[in-house]
């Protein structure tokens, strides 16, 4: 990242901190009930990157006043066994939120596993119930990354109504719900292909680009409309996003850095929704 | 409608007949079980147009070997009473499909009512479960109009992969799921605004237009890309669609007439899904 002084960044790190501070204040109300919010984290196997993600999420929850309970399952766990574990946590009154770290491995039917999470504890926003809630503005939790993106756009006063937003990538927990959330805000939304031929013509028209496909530097500066708002939700282990920051940031009005943009927002939504879930389940009136 | 001989129409009337014939053949398998498929139709109030629609749907079911059971409720019916009725039909083993004719009137919470329909009997494709099934290619029923549109496009060999499909209108049972079904076919999908300013620039780029907003002649010929495929799912009592047929059909490769395009397809999907629902519920192996 080599931002010049004229680039206006959407600073996910500082906004995430504000969201976590608010969650921490909200979590303080729960001692009245004699309990604190509890997130159950479930990890299948021992992938070091996944284990690191889980520890980071647990640490954020601890920082915001939530406990976490970790369930580590062997790599040989079957889908049925994983579903049993998740169903048990769904009905456990001591657990308010459930995170299934994914990908779980090719032998697991992830969709079936996600659906074993009770909607009212789906603080990672991975169930179909949460998808419907996002699409139709019903009560429910958002997927963390799309939810984090929307909070960023809101914080930087990006007016979406009537704007053309292009979403690159259509995964069930990122691109697809991100498009639905933008549509709810009355944007004109295009789900773009990720193959370059079709992509470039579409992205060049976009007022707002959400890149969520996971291909390093897929979108370059010359492909971005001058004055566009660019959100880079791509991620790879080397912290290279879907957007070529150096060339794109010379043309954008607002852009997320990688790291420090969408990543911390994704992480902040989880403890915030855990506190919300606990408040809902414990019957605490939020203000 | 004044089609010239060079206009290639997507003939919903004849395709609908083929679908209904196939449903009728499938319905014949059920006498083995000593029963025939049964659609429950529910109508709140006495709006004459709604009553006509219900009778037409019942007639189509009869033609394809399904019985129907009609429940007429007074206009004063509350949401809670309507939910009770629908929940009763959902658990009634003699009913295989449920149609709630809508709009139900401003005093009814239609979403709550729809959700009282068991997903396995949602042959009109109005529940959130059906929306998710459409979005993520899971088992379930399609909303009748989007489902009918996809069958038309398929019958006329419209290759959607990599094409730019624009959906005008974003209702929960028409525009929104139509876009999801197009996305599943690997089209690039744009949900367009219906306000004319934004609309025209977007529609002009579309290889496939699905107009589903219900504004008479909103889309005119000069706004359509030459060679486009245009599906007009608009409807009004005077059989005027969202597309100005006379000007648009001079430029399109394929276009649906109004009437005789999407309308009959919408109607055909209902008995077809009723037969499917009965087969599923009665445990009949389909071939």
Contact in structure between B246 and B232 (CB atoms under 8 Å): no
The residue annotated as part of the active site, out of B11, B58, B101, B207, is B101
Question: Which pLDDT score, from 0 to 100, does residue A33 have?
Answer: 66
Q: What is the mean pLDDT of residues B269-282?
A: 94
Q: How confident is the model at residue B287 (pLDDT cuts 50, 70, 90)?
A: very low
Establish if A276 belongs to a structural domain: no
A124 and A153 together in one domain: no
Contact in structure between B151 and B136 (CB atoms under 8 Å): no
A246 and A155 together in one domain: yes
A116 and A225 together in one domain: no
Q: How far is A126 from A256, CA to CA, in rounded Å?
A: 24
The answer to whether B101 is a known catalytic residue is yes
A47 and A123 together in one domain: yes
The residue annotated as part of the active site, out of B58, B121, B122, B124, is B124
| pLDDT > 70? residue A97 | yes
Residues of A comprising the binding site for NADP(+)?
Answer: 169-171
Q: What is the mean pLDDT of residues B138-149?
A: 95
Contact in structure between A104 and A73 (CB atoms under 8 Å): no
Question: Which pLDDT score, from 0 to 100, does residue A118 have?
Answer: 97
Q: Which residues of B touch A (CB under 8 A)?
A: 111, 128-129, 131-132, 135-136, 138, 162, 164, 170, 172, 176, 179, 183, 186, 188-193, 195, 198, 202
Q: What is the mean pLDDT of residues B34-42?
A: 91
Domain-terminating residue out of B123, B155, B171: B123
Per-residue pLDDT tens over the stretch A34-83: 688 999 999 999 999 999 999 999 999 999 999 999 999 999 999 999 99
Q: Which of A227-241, B55-69, B74-88, B214-228 has the lowest mean pLDDT?
A: A227-241
Distances (CA, A) of A143 to B67, B179, B180, B236: 43, 20, 18, 38
B46 and B111 together in one domain: yes
Token code pair at residue B130: 């059906």
B171 and B252 together in one domain: yes
Share of chain B above pLDDT 90, in %: 84
Residue B21, SS3? helix
Establish if A285 belongs to a structural domain: no
Q: Which of A126-140, B126-140, B186-200, B217-231 has the lowest mean pLDDT?
A: B186-200
The domain that contains B247 carries what CATH number? 3.40.50.720
Q: Which residues of A touch B (CB under 8 A)?
A: 111, 128-129, 131-132, 135-136, 138, 162, 164, 170, 172, 176, 179, 183, 186, 188-193, 195, 198, 202
Residue carrying the six token digits 């008995």 = B271
Per-residue pLDDT tens over the stretch A253-281: 999 999 999 999 999 999 999 999 999 99
Q: What is the mean pLDDT of residues B145-153?
A: 97
Question: Which pLDDT score, from 0 to 100, does residue A182 have?
Answer: 97
Domain containing residue B61:
34-123
Q: What is the mean pLDDT of residues B143-159?
A: 97
Residue B170 is labelled as binding a ligand: yes
Average pLDDT, chain B: 92
Q: Looking at the 3D structure of chain B, how many domains does it have?
A: 2
Question: Which pLDDT score, from 0 to 100, does residue A195 have?
Answer: 77
Q: How confident is the model at residue B109 (pLDDT cuts 50, 70, 90)?
A: very high
Provide the shortest C-alpha distance from residue A189 to chain B (in Å).
Answer: 5
Establish if B163 belongs to a structural domain: yes
Question: Which pLDDT score, from 0 to 100, does residue B31 have?
Answer: 57
Domain-terminating residue out of A73, A104, A130: A130
| pLDDT > 70? residue B29 | no
Please tell me which residue of chain A has the smallest CA distance to B205. A202
The domain that contains A111 carries what CATH number? 3.40.50.10860
Per-residue pLDDT tens over the stretch A118-175: 999 999 999 999 999 999 989 999 999 999 999 999 999 999 999 999 999 999 899 9
Establish if A216 belongs to a structural domain: yes
Q: What is the mean pLDDT of residues A200-210?
A: 94
Q: What is the mean pLDDT of residues A85-107?
A: 96
Q: Which of A229-238, B100-109, B251-260 has the lowest mean pLDDT?
A: A229-238
Biggest alpha carbon distance in chain A?
58
Token code pair at residue A182: 């933008």
Establish if A11 belongs to a structural domain: no
A240 and A162 together in one domain: yes
Residue A240, SS3? coil
Q: What is the mean pLDDT of residues A190-201?
A: 84
Average pLDDT, chain A: 92
Establish if B277 belongs to a structural domain: no
Structural Rg of chain A based on CA atoms: 19
């Amino acid at each position: 990242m080599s931002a010049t002084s004229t680039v206006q960044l959407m600073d996910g790190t500082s906004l995430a901190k504000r969201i976590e501070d608010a969650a921490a204040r909200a979590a303080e109300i729960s001692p009245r009930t004699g309990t604190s919010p509890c997130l159950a984290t479930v990890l299948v196997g021992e992938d070091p990157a996944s284990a690191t993600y889980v520890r980071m999420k647990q640490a954020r929850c601890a920082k915001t006043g939530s406990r976490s309970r970790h369930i580590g399952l062997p790599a040989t766990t079957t889908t049925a066994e994983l579903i049993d574990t998740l169903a048990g946590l769904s009905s456990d009154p001591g657990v308010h939120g459930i995170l299934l770290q994914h990908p779980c491995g090719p032998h697991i039917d992830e969709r079936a596993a996600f659906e074993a999470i009770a909607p009212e504890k789906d603080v990672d926003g991975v169930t179909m119930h949460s998808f419907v809630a996002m699409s139709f503005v019903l009560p429910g939790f958002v997927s963390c990354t799309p939810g984090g993106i929307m909070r960023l756009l809101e914080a930087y006063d990006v007016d979406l109504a009537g704007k053309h937003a292009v979403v690159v990538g259509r995964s069930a927990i990122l691109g697809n719900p991100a498009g639905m959330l933008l549509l709810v805000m009355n944007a004109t939304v295009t789900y773009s292909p990720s193959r370059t031929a079709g992509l470039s013509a579409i992205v060049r028209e976009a007022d707002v680009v959400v890149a969520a496909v996971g291909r390093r530097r897929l979108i370059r500066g010359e492909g971005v409309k001058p004055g566009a708002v660019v959100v880079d939700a791509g991620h790879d282990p080397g912290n290279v996003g879907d957007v070529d920051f150096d060339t794109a940031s010379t043309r954008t009005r607002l852009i997320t850095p990688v790291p420090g943009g969408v990543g911390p927002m994704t992480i902040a939504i989880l403890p915030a929704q855990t506190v919300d879930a606990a408040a809902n389940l414990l019957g605490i009136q939020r203000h």
